[in-house]
Amino acid sequence: MSALPRSPLTAHVGKHPGEPQVMDPALISDPYGGYGALREQGPVVRGRFMDDSPAWFVTRFEEVRQVLRDPRFANNPVASSLGARPEDSPTVRLLDMLGFPEHLRVYLLGSILNNDAPDHTRLRRLVSRAFTARKITNLRPRVAEIADTLLDRLPEHAEDGVVDLIQHFAYPLPITVICELVGIPEADRPQWRQWGADLVSLQPERLSVSFPAMIDHIHELIRERRGALTDDLLSELIRTHDDDGGRLSDVEMVTMVLTLVLAGHETTAHLIGNGTAALLTHPGQLRLLQDDPDLLPRAVHELMRWCGPVHMTQLRYATEDVELAGTLIRKGDAVQLILVSANHDPRHYTDPERLDLTRHPAGHAENHVGFGHGPHYCLGATLAKQEGEVALGKLLARFPGVALAVPPERLERAQVPGSWRLVSLPLRLS
């Protein structure tokens, strides 16, 4: 397992004994055990965010869903109702600690995820048309075609019979899909993948170089595309912006592209990676799926619950005093929703640590919070689930004897807080 990268964020760890800290290496290396223990301590636990400012950790399924749909909790750290100065908000302090140039802050703070109604509603409406169930179903043949092409080439990447699924399948599939949807040229995609990795690394020396480069690149892309609009999402955003600047500002347009491309591949890649690793280490469940491929949609629900890649949401801020499960959350307090512990809450699931692909009844909506909940529920969830189904279904059909090339305990995980990502997934194909 790789060591936690050195970062100004780790300097605080241990300063407040008894209070969980998001950067604590013990929580990062064992989120299921660590956050599971917090959940059993209580539904609302006082802890510390990455910048070491206080935050309430909400750990149980019902309370997590309750906060995520409660309009008294805001995403925007400097919302006018909070009266906070930007420099006092944990999110902004974190950006400073990570070396984000101040003039570029707006590109993160302007994102759909950092806004509340009415701005959030306006931004979401502008892009949600591209992600309706029908649009995503129509994309399925193209997703399948991309998966087939990657699987055709997979054996060529093998060294001594071993191929890394993360490198050659789990990343290339979703990055190709989201870039085609948004309209990012093929030649730029490797660069985007690097930027995505730099952003999630939380390392100032990587972030401070990559973020400005990414913003410049998107401006350039918009300039070019404006001269030759097509039917991709970028052209759609440009049309909306140019027709009526009140519906989408310059910064919002850039931020939307950034959010969609990064959120659209960095997470899905790890649903595919984690999901494959889970199946290959649970032969009984793997056999069940291989015998009945119709189980795939339910299997993906369960894999999202059991080993979903996103362990926490963005911070929320109480816009007034709120009592939550007996704890008084004061106006302005930050709240951290712990999805990983909610998804393993024994109050909600029978035998939650057991991977059970038949757990979710056929045809039922998902029963987990791996994609969040409420107004900020993942915009790309339908797309991500479809990609997960296609990727796992096709991989297992093409290589029915596929197996891990290393013992499960040697699978290396990226040591980043709030997520579950394999650095590589070495497989033997057969």
Binding site for ligand HEM (CB under 6 A): 112-113, 124, 178, 259-260, 263-264, 267-268, 271, 308-310, 313-314, 370-372, 376, 378-380, 383-384
Q: Which residues contact 45 (CB under 8 A, 6 or more apart)?
A: 20, 38, 56, 57, 59
CB of 156: closest distance to ligand HEM in angstroms?
27
Q: How far is the CB of 18 from ligand HEM (least distance, A)?
A: 27
Closest distance between ligand HEM and the C-beta of residue 215, in Å?
Answer: 18
CB closer to ligand HEM, 13 vs 422:
422
Q: 103 or 134: whose CB is closer to ligand HEM?
A: 134
Q: Which is nearer to ligand HEM, 82 or 379 (CB)?
A: 379
Beta carbon nearer to ligand HEM, 43 or 370: 370
DSSP 212-267: HHHHHHHHHHHHHHHTS--SSHHHHHHHHHHH-TTTS-HHHHHHHHHHHHHHHHHT
Least distance in angstroms from the C-beta of 419 to ligand HEM: 9
Alpha-carbon gap, residue 228 to 207, rounded angstroms: 31
How is residue 111 annotated by DSSP? S
- Residue closer to ligand HEM by CB (options 158, 416) is 416
Tell me how far apart the alpha carbons of residues 239 and 127 are, in angstroms, rounded to a whole number: 13
Q: Minimum Å distance from CB 158 to ligand HEM? A: 26
Residue 296 vs 429, nearer CB to ligand HEM = 296
Comparing C-alpha atoms, which of 396, 153, 110 is closest to residue 257?
Answer: 110
Report the nearest approach of ligand HEM to the CB of residue 364 (Å). Answer: 19
91 and 53 Cβ atoms separated by less than 8 Å: no
Tell me the backbone φ, ψ of residue 292, rounded to 5 degrees.
-140, 80
| CA dist., res. 94 & res. 203, Å (int) | 12
Q: Are 154 and 404 in contact (CB under 8 A)?
A: no
Taking CB positions, which residue lies at the least distance from ligand HEM?
380
Q: Which is closer to ligand HEM, CB of 26 or CB of 117?
A: 117
- Cα–Cα distance measured from residue 402 to residue 419, given in angstroms and rounded to the nearest whole number: 26
CA pseudo-torsion sign 382, 387, 388, 389: positive
Shortest separation between residue 17's beta carbon and ligand HEM, angstroms: 29
Amino acid at 305: R
Q: From CA 388, how far away is CA 382, in angstroms rounded?
A: 10
Q: Which residues are within 8 A (CB) of 83 and not within 5 positions of it... i.e. 6 or more apart?
A: 332
CB of 313 to ligand HEM, least distance (A): 3
**Nearer Cβ to ligand HEM (278/429):** 278
